[in-house]
Amino acid sequence: MQRSLAFGAYLLFSSLLLALLLYSGRQQADTVAEHYFPANRQLVKQLGLTDLSIWSEARYTRHPSQADLFTAFQDYPGAFDHFPAGSIIGPGCLQGSPSLSFQKRGQP
Amino acid sequence: MSARLKILEHALASMARRKQKNFAIIAVYTLTVATLASILFLTQALRNEAANVLLGAPDLVVQRLLAGHHDLIPKQYAEQIAKLPGVGKVTPRVWGYYYDSLKKVNFTLLGVNDASEPPLLAGHLPTSGRQCALGRGIADTYGVEIGDSLVLVDSKNRTLLYEITGLFSHQSSLLTNDLILLPEAELRRFFALPDSQASDLAVQVYNEQEVSTLAKKIKHQLPDTRPIGKMEILHTYDTVFNWRSGIMLTIFSSALIAFCILAWDKATGISAEEKREIGILKAIGWETSDVLLLKFWEGLAVSLSSFLLGTIIAYLHIFFFGAGVLGPVIQGWSVLFPKFDLTPAIDLYQIFALAGLTIIPYIACTVIPSWKNAVTDPDSVMRS
């Protein structure tokens, strides 16, 4: 009897924990929907943004919805590079000095 | 105590006798469920985020194609498009990329004209020529703040200093992480863009039902253009974060295959010890239905425990620990990757589907081989 009680208690505890997490997630989503989504939507509208700033390594990954028709993602978004050459040609060695830097306030 | 509870008690005692094996199964099972649930939670949250924030995107973006790729569009196209019935404001957008070979990252430079302050910006938008506003990702990567200066090299190889007047907050990182805002006139000078041209045109359409018709009209009147509707933008992200696409499918199918191997191992046979146990139970008078109930409890105990534990781990992984394990998979080669602070967007249908896909097959794989032994003569089962 002890084992089944312990098992029942474990199931009850984990079910309640999961329910609590889902409920708190719901509350959090409601807060975000009320405050941050409208603010972000307004930002997108004002600046005329079209894409999420997730992958900044290439043009067609930074703006997948605006990419040229012949880029990999334009066959269907999320597609792997469909040209066999993509798996053979490695990234090139870039020459030159860094083109972006910052100057701290008050420093020459 | 009812007979069913006694059978459950017996099932748990039987599992405790083989605790090493059962713990190993629960660990693998939990890991599989956690992987599957993490992918579902992460993709659903990103899809939800994209669908909500990109609703503010331009109704129609009109690009010009030259020799098959995106080219600058003459501003007079904006006048032609504005004359079409149903079209509101047509805004030429000026933007471009700036590659930093040290960090190996593309920054997006965007020209702004609007004087009104956007939300989620600390400080203010650039107003004079030598000012700029930055995304949080750049500020965090380079450790800069408002008042510092950004040094860029323009198209004529001149080094230019821009005072940072505004920084976007973390809450907008999914949109502005790598963004550098400059006054439009300054950005034109920077890229040496002619005043008569723009990067593309953002078109306002009064009735969203007419967007596709207007896109066809624009394409007909200006054949060298490519109109991209808001629905296409939303669809892009819906597809990118669909569980069926790319890397997600790879991880998803690996986890699913691992689960299938686990279930297959259970289904293809039970151990000699388990067979002997079934034979003894039958010999001392247990009915076949009792044996099946015993095995059902065993299967349910393992699968339900693993499912609940796996789902909790997945939730904590994605929404409390910022997708620490799965994040780098999505990150790929991206250097300025935004910090994940995702909003939970749980689809209960997905959780029930995951439960159905993992719990039911496992119970079936536990019960069916036992049923085969339970209906066989106990003596031959014990001797086999």
Q: Which residues in chain B touch residue A14, judged by CB atoms under 8 angstroms apart?
A: 305, 308-309, 312
Last residue of a domain, one of B228, B250, B283: B228
The verdict on A41 and A58 lying in the same domain is no
CA distance A90 to chain B (A): 13
Q: Tell me the residues of chain B between 298 and 327 that have a Cβ less than 8 Å away from chain A.
A: 301, 304-305, 308-309, 311-312, 315-316, 319
Structural domain count, chain A: 2
B243/B262 Cα distance (integer angstroms) = 22
Is residue A34 within 8 angstroms of chain B, CB to CB?
no
Task: Judge if A29 and A55 occupy the same domain.
Answer: no
Whether A69 is in a domain gets the answer yes
Q: What is the pLDDT of residue A82?
A: 47
**For B125-164, what is each residue's pLDDT tens digit?**
998 889 999 999 999 988 999 999 999 998 888 999 999 9
Domain coverage including residue B363: 3-53+241-383
Q: Are strands B131-134 and B159-168 parallel, antiparallel or unpaired?
A: parallel
**Distance (Å, rounded) from C-alpha B187 to C-alpha B193?**
8
Closest CA to A43 of B210, B317, B54, B113: B54
Contact A71/B at CB under 8 A? no
B118 and B125 Cβ atoms separated by less than 8 Å: yes
Residues A58 and A44 in one domain: no
Tell whether A37 is covered by a domain: yes
Can you give the residue range of the structural domain that contains A14?
1-48
Least Cα distance to B180 among B198, B193, B168 occurs for B168
Q: Is A82 on the interface with B (CB under 8 A)?
A: no
In a domain, B193, yes or no: yes
Q: Is the pLDDT of residue A15 over 50?
A: yes
Among B185, B205, B228, the domain boundary falls at: B228
Instruction: Confirm whether A105 is domain-assigned.
Output: no
Does residue B117 fall inside a structural domain? yes
Q: Which of B307, B40, B316 is nearest to A20 (CA)?
A: B316
The ipTM value here is 0.81
Tell me the CA distances in angstroms from B316 to A10, B8, B41, B337, B345, one per residue in order. Answer: 18, 31, 10, 21, 13
Total count of domains within chain B: 2
Mind listing the pLDDT tens digit for each residue in B272-291?
A: 777 777 788 877 878 888 88
Let me know if residue A75 belongs to a domain: yes
pLDDT tops 70 at residue A99: no
Is residue B249 a part of any domain in this protein? Answer: yes
Q: Are residues B266 and B245 in the same domain?
A: yes
